[in-house]
Amino acid sequence: MHSSCPEHERPGATPRRRRLLLKAALAGALVPLGLNVWAGKPEIWTYPLPNDGDRSRYAFEFALLRAALEATATPVKPVQLSWSALTMPQSRARLEVAAGQLSVVHSFATPEVDALLQRVPFPLALGLHSQRVLLTRHELLPQLAVLRHREELKAFRFGVLNSWSDRQMLQERGFQVSITESFVGLFKMLALGRSDVIMCSVLHAAQVSAMLEDFPELSWEPRLLLEIQSEPWFYTARSPEGQARAHRLLRGLKALQRKGQLAQLHKQYFSDAMSLSQHRRRIDLN
């Protein structure tokens, strides 16, 4: 028979365990995700595994999500966070969240995404994602080195994923784009001369650099920093359950900010990115 006793009052609990659980309850202690020692049933959260299966691509977002959930966990409401069983592109992940099959996804804001999902109104990258560097072929470096104005970039073809919000932005501003559905295909397309540059957030430059061993023709342009208004957000479903998840995430993110943990996470994951953006010639694409 189900007991209605609080965990710290249940028969069989040692006096020391009762004291510890009572102290944790009164203090609102943080609950490690997936630790099933509390009275409450864990709330299950799932996060989309990237299409290529490389979890490091979403390492910051996953760590931030985990920390935000931990910041709002209580003895009667623990959380269990895991990756989705299947890999998927962001476009499918958004649909899975809308259907209630996944709990949350990070995405850039577009009218379509905001109509489909509930945005958690807290910017994740604090403006760093708006700073972009260019990957190109060695032969194009001299041409890029003399650029000073936005209009001059229209002579170059930008390689983009079809699902990227950058694709629409670039097209609306009159830039040339070469579209692919594959992340690795971006680099193949650039190496083969079917595009001229890939615009990459300073946040992801280190991850991209790790892939360049297979593309010796490519290198980073060292002088330019493109700025474009772009910020990732967490999104949940628009259902009542999704609304509750969004509210919980917002509380957790604000708690991390107050306690300085958000700044610590940014420093942990993005210290190299912050250095990369310094001492470059800026071109505003907004």
Look-up: residue for tokens 């479903």?
A: 237
> In the chain, which segments carry CATH 3.40.190.10?
26-124+231-271, 128-230
Q: Has residue 163 got a pLDDT over 80? A: no
Q: Which CATH number fits domain 26-124+231-271: 3.30.1600.10, 3.40.50.1820, 1.10.3720.10, 3.40.190.10?
A: 3.40.190.10
On average, the pLDDT of the chain sits at: 84
Q: Has residue 158 got a pLDDT over 50? A: yes
pTM of the model: 0.66
pLDDT value of position 191: 96
**Is the Cα torsion angle 92, 63, 112, 135 positive or negative in sign?**
negative
Give the residue, 51 or 96, on which the prediction is more confident. Answer: 96
Residue 255 neighbours by CB under 8 Å, 6+ apart: 68, 71, 72
pLDDT value of position 5: 36
At the topology level, CATH places domain 128-230 in: D-Maltodextrin-Binding Protein; domain 2 (3.40.190)
Q: What percent of the chain has pLDDT over 90?
A: 55
Query: Cα(105)–Cα(43) distance, rounded to whole angstroms?
Result: 17
Cβ pair 65, 47 in contact under 8 A? yes
Least trusted range by pLDDT, from 25-29, 137-141, 194-198: 25-29
pLDDT tens figures, 25-69: 333 333 345 444 445 678 899 999 998 888 988 899 999 999 999
Helix 261-276 with 59-72: angle, nearest 10 deg: 160
Over its C-alpha atoms, the chain yields an Rg (Å, rounded) of: 22
Query: Cα(55)–Cα(208) distance, rounded to whole angstroms?
Result: 14
Strands 105-108 and 232-236: antiparallel
pLDDT tens figures, 64-89: 999 999 999 877 778 899 999 999 98
Q: Has residue 10 got a pLDDT over 70? A: no
Q: Has residue 129 got a pLDDT over 90? A: no
Rounded mean pLDDT, 226-241: 92
Query: Cα(181)–Cα(185) distance, rounded to whole angstroms?
Result: 7
Helix 261-276 with 240-259: angle, nearest 10 deg: 80
Q: Has residue 19 got a pLDDT over 70? A: no
Query: Cα(244)–Cα(246) distance, rounded to whole angstroms?
Result: 5
pLDDT tens figures, 103-123: 999 998 888 999 999 999 999
pLDDT value of position 86: 94
pLDDT value of position 115: 96
